[in-house]
Structure 1
Amino acid sequence: MDADEILPRRSGDPLTELAKQDLDPFSVDELHARIAVLESEIARTRKKIEYAVNHRASADALFKR
């Protein structure tokens, strides 16, 4: 899956801008720090997805006919 397929198409969107950012000016330490921040955001996003899925399953079970 290509990044263009999953990233929003709005211009100025932070994720789109992040994906386009030139990494050449960054040092190795800065790149490692960037990876750490991105991994933290991935973990936060996965927790939100898990919460949403569980919440939906609970609601479906509650209102099931």
Structure 2
Amino acid sequence: MDMDDDLFSSRPEDPLALLARQDLDPLSFDELDARILALEAEIARIRSHKDTVTLHRSAADALFKR
């Protein structure tokens, strides 16, 4: 079984699952570099959102703490 199958098997039509299965062979060197930059930007966006969620969760926990 492929590692991607383990990570994404519960949502086979998830865009991330489709991305992980995409054939990279037709892509040029420049296209691969562009893809890496786009994915790194997406990782940064997700990390930023995760930090925001963590701050909101901490504020809510502090507010409702008895």
Q: TM-score, normalised by structure 1?
A: 0.87
Deviations 1:20-54 (A, max 9, x none): 00100000000000000000000000011111111
Partner of 1:35: 36
Which whole-Å CA distance do the structure 2 matches of 1:49 and 1:8 have between them? Answer: 23
RMSD value, Cα: 1.5
Query: What CA distance in whole angstroms lies between the structure 1 residues aligned with 2:46 and 2:7?
Result: 14
For these two proteins, the number of residue pairs brought into alignment is 64
Superposition misfits of 4+ residues, deviation over 3 angstroms: 2-8
Identity of aligned residues (%): 55
Per the TM alignment, residue 8 of structure 1 is displaced from its structure 2 partner at its CA by 5.8
RCO comparison, higher one (Cα < 8 Å, 6+): 2
Partner of 1:57: 58
In structure 1, runs of 5+ residues without a counterpart are none
Residues 1:47 and 1:4: Cα distance change in structure 2 (over 3 Å): farther
Unaligned runs of 5+ in 2: none
